[in-house]
A and B are shown apart, each in its own frame.
Chain A
Amino acid sequence: MAQVTKVLVGFKPKETVGRIGEWFAVTFAIALREVRSLFSSWIAYVTLAFFEIWAGFFFFAIARIGQTADMRYLFWNMAVILFIVLPMVTMRLLAEERRLGTLELLLTSPVTDWQVVLGKFLGAYYWLIVALGLTLYVPYLVHRFSGGTVDLGPYWTAYIGLLLFGAAAISVGVFWSALTDNQIIAAFATFGTLLLVYVITWPTEGTGTLAEICRKVSLYYRYQDFTAGLIQSKDVIFFLLLSLAFLYLAVQVLGSRRWR
Chain B
Amino acid sequence: MIEVAGLTKFYGEVRALDDVTFSVRKGEIIGFLGPNGAGKTTTMRILTGFLSPTTGTAKVGGYDVVENSLEVRRITGYLPETVPLYNEMRVRDYLGYMARIRGVQRKRIRDRVDYAVERCGLREVADRIIGHLSKGYRQRVGVAQAIIHDPQVLILDEPTIGLDPVQVREVRQLIKDMAGERTIILSTHILPEVSMTCERVLIIHKGRIVAEDTPEGLSRRLSQSERILVRLARIPSQPLSALGKLDNVIKVEHVGDNLFAVEAPAGHDIREQLAEFIVKNGWGLLELRREEMTLEEIFVNLVTRE
> What mask results when residues 55 to 78 of chain A are scored 1 for a CB within 8 Å of chain B, else 0?
000000000000000000000000
- CB distance B50 to A25 under 8 Å? no
- CB distance B100 to A29 under 8 Å? yes
> What mask results when residues 31 to 66 of chain B are scored 1 for a CB within 8 Å of chain A, else 0?
000000000000001001111100000000000000
Contacts of B85 in A (CB 8 A): 100, 102
- CB distance B74 to A25 under 8 Å? no
Q: A37-B86, A100-B84, A101-B80 are in contact. Are A108 and B101 (CB under 8 A)?
A: no
- CB distance A110 to B103 under 8 Å? yes
* B145 close to A (CB within 8 Å): yes
* A14 close to B (CB within 8 Å): no
* A41 close to B (CB within 8 Å): yes
- CB distance A257 to B51 under 8 Å? yes
* B76 close to A (CB within 8 Å): yes
- CB distance A30 to B11 under 8 Å? no
Q: How far is the CB of B93 from chain A (nearest CB, A)?
A: 8
Q: A258-B50, A258-B51, A258-B52 are in contact. Are A110 and B84 (CB under 8 A)?
A: no
Residue in A26, A41, A110 whose CB lies within 8 Å of B73: A110
Inter-chain residue pair count (beta carbon < 8 A)? 73
Contacts of B52 in A (CB 8 A): 258-259
Contacts of B50 in A (CB 8 A): 104, 107-108, 257-258
Q: How far is the CB of A252 from chain B (nearest CB, A)?
A: 14
- CB distance A110 to B100 under 8 Å? no
Question: When chains A and B are docked, how far (Å) is the Cα of A14 from the Cα of B45?
Answer: 36
Q: How far is the CB of A101 from chain B (nearest CB, A)?
A: 4
Number of B residues near A (Cβ < 8 Å) is: 30
Question: When chains A and B are docked, how far (Å) is the Cα of A107 from the Cα of B73?
Answer: 9
Question: When chains A and B are docked, how far (Å) is the Cα of A259 from the Cα of B66?
Answer: 11
Q: A40-B88, A109-B101, A258-B50 are in contact. Are A104 and B106 (CB under 8 A)?
A: no
Question: When chains A and B are docked, how far (Å) is the Cα of A36 from the Cα of B82?
Answer: 23
Q: Of residues 83 to 113 in A, which have CB atoms within 8 Å of B's CB atoms?
A: 100-112
Q: How far is the CB of A96 from chain B (nearest CB, A)?
A: 9
Q: How far is the CB of B11 from chain A (nearest CB, A)?
A: 7
> What mask results when residues 100 to 129 of chain A are scored 1 for a CB within 8 Å of chain B, else 0?
111111111111100000000000000000
Contacts of B70 in A (CB 8 A): 110, 112
Contacts of A257 in B (CB 8 A): 50-51
- CB distance B100 to A26 under 8 Å? yes
| 5 contacts across the A-B interface (CB closer than 8 A) | A37-B86, A40-B88, A102-B86, A104-B50, A110-B101
Q: A30-B101, A104-B84 are in contact. List 7 more A-B contacts (CB 8 A).
A: A100-B84, A100-B85, A102-B85, A104-B78, A107-B50, A108-B48, A110-B71
Question: What residues of chain B have their CB less than 8 Å away from a CB belonging to chain A?
Answer: 11, 45, 48-52, 70-71, 73-74, 76, 78, 80, 82-89, 97-98, 100-103, 106, 145
- Enumerate the 4 nearest inter-chain pairs by beta-carbon distance, A residue then B residue, closest first: A101-B84, A102-B84, A108-B48, A258-B52
